[in-house]
């Protein structure tokens, strides 16, 4: 799906507007919609010509969008890679045409680090660690005693946030809870509500004694809540839930007592991205990883925080 947004406003860079080709992952979650809105609004505000495409979570669509941006000769290409591997060929084509590439949100694995300039996005491994640390508080608050039997709803298989969140969570679990916590079942829900709902229903069938859910995003947690309720259990009580993102619907579920804690992942990357794009276009040096600042929220903070949530 392509959508070219012409610029309005002034470029503020001496008159020559920047043309930015942006290949988005898809529209799988509330986080993603907020990220798309942020990118579009910030490009408009900066006065850039934005060529935007939605890859519908398919790598081949992202590769053809990037190829089309190379053919069109855009100034800078930015993209949020659906999975980490398989980008070298197309990134080499961009490099051959001297078009700089900026990664946003998600990283790639590449044999040649010079194939992209920088990553603007979150530290997903740390988000996984933070999820494990906040789960300690949730367990203590709920007074859960005995074995902690965790179900994990993973993000899209092969995507940086799925790999790294699982890794960070496991790191804390292995180091500090080897004897009392166990991930008894773990499967992808593809970062979608429908995926979370379907996979959680299967988890409850195969492992009815699960007492914790770690969901890699709020949307999957919200889908899972429907299956937990359909199974006659209380989300947030019979099954403690920690998720990642902090979208409005996640905060609503938290204020209703159905999610116990949320680790924030900020999707509002547009302004930082436009800033970096301009610097890259002007040949300035930028940091290799521009990290996003974010916080953690327990259920008792949800109602007060809800009105000021921006996404």
Decide if residue 31 touches ligand AHR (CB under 6 A). Answer: yes
> Which residue, 128 or 161, has its beta carbon nearer to ligand AHR?
161
Rounded least distance, CB 268 to ligand AHR, Å: 12
Piece in contact with ligand AHR (CB under 6 A), picked from 29-37, 59-67, 197-205, 286-294: 29-37
Site for ligand AHR in 81-120 (CB under 6 A): 105-106
Give Cα 294 distance to the centre of its chain.
13
Site for ligand AHR in 183-202 (CB under 6 A): 191
- Please enumerate in sequence order all residues whose Cβ is within 8 A of that of 212, keeping only pairs 6 or more positions apart, or say none: 135, 139, 144, 148, 149, 150, 151, 239, 240, 241, 242
Q: What is the largest CA-CA distance in the chain?
A: 65
Decide if residue 28 touches ligand AHR (CB under 6 A). Answer: yes
Rounded least distance, CB 27 to ligand AHR, Å: 9
Q: In what order do the strands lie in the sheet with 148-154?
A: 181-188, 148-154, 212-215, 240-245, 261-264, 296-298
> Which residue, 20 or 160, has its beta carbon nearer to ligand AHR?
160
Decide if residue 296 touches ligand AHR (CB under 6 A). Answer: no
Decide if residue 20 touches ligand AHR (CB under 6 A). Answer: no
Query: How many whole angstroms separate alpha carbon 58 and alpha carbon 36?
Result: 17
Site for ligand AHR in 154-183 (CB under 6 A): 161
Could you say which of 54, 164, 245, 296 contacts ligand AHR (CB under 6 A)? 245
Decide if residue 270 touches ligand AHR (CB under 6 A). Answer: no
- Given the rule CB under 6 A, which residues bind ligand AHR? 28-29, 31-32, 105-106, 161, 191, 217, 219, 244-245, 265
């Amino acid at each position: 799906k392509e959508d070219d947004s012409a610029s309005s406003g002034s470029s503020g860079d001496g008159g020559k507007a920047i043309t930015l080709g942006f290949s988005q992952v898809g529209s799988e979650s509330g986080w993603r919609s907020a990220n798309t809105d942020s990118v579009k609004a910030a490009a408009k505000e900066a006065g850039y010509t934005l060529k935007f495409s939605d890859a519908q979570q398919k790598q081949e669509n992202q590769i053809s969008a990037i190829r089309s941006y190379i053919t069109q000769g855009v100034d800078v290409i930015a993209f949020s890679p659906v999975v980490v591997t398989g980008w070298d060929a197309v990134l080499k084509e961009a490099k051959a045409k001297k078009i700089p590439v900026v990664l946003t949100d998600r990283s790639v694995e590449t044999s040649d680090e010079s194939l992209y300039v920088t990553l603007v996005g979150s530290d997903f491994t740390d988000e996984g660690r933070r999820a494990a640390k906040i789960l300690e508080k949730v367990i203590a608050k709920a007074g859960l005693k005995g074995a902690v039997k965790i179900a994990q709803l993973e993000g899209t298989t092969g995507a940086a946030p799925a790999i790294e969140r699982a890794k960070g969570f496991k790191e804390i679990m292995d180091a500090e809870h080897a004897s009392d916590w166990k991930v008894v079942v773990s499967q992808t829900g593809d970062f979608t509500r429908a995926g979370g709902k379907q996979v959680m229903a299967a988890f409850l069938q195969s492992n009815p004694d699960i007492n914790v859910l770690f969901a890699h995003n709020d949307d999957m947690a919200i889908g899972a809540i429907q299956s937990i309720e359909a199974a006659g259990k209380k989300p947030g009580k019979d099954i403690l839930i920690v998720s990642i993102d902090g979208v409005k619907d996640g905060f609503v579920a938290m204020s209703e007592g159905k999610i116990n804690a949320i680790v924030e992942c900020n999707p509002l990357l547009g302004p930082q991205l436009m800033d970096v794009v301009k610097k890259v276009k002007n040949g300035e040096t930028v940091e290799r990883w521009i990290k996003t600042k974010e916080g953690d929220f327990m259920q008792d903070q949800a109602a007060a925080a809800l009105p000021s949530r921006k996404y």
